[in-house]
Amino acid sequence: MIDEHLPSAAHSSQPPTGPVIALLLCLCVPPGLAQSTASGCGASATTHHVFSHAGPPLRAIEHAPRNRLRLQNLKWEVPVEAATGILIAEGDQPAANRIQGRSIQHLARLWSNFGLGTEIGAGFATWGVGCIERKPSLRDNGLTALTAMGAAGTLDLALKLAFDREFPYKPGSHGDFWGGGRSFPSGRAATSFAFAAAIAHRYTHSRWVKWGAYGLATGVALSRYPGKRHYLSDILIGSTLGYVTGVYVAEH
Let me know: does 47 contact 240? Beta carbons within 8 Å: no
Where b means 16+ CB within 10 Å and e means fewer, 95-126 reads: ebeebeeeeebbebbebbbebbeebbebbbeb
Let me know: does 194 contact 242? Beta carbons within 8 Å: yes
Interval 194-232: pLDDT, tens: 999 999 998 988 889 999 999 999 999 999 999 999 999
Interval 85-135: pLDDT, tens: 999 999 999 999 999 889 999 999 999 999 999 999 999 999 889 888 888
pLDDT tier at 58 (50, 70, 90 boundaries)? low
Range with the largest mean pLDDT of 13-27, 50-64, 110-124: 110-124
Let me know: does 230 contact 116? Beta carbons within 8 Å: no
Let me know: does 218 contact 235? Beta carbons within 8 Å: no
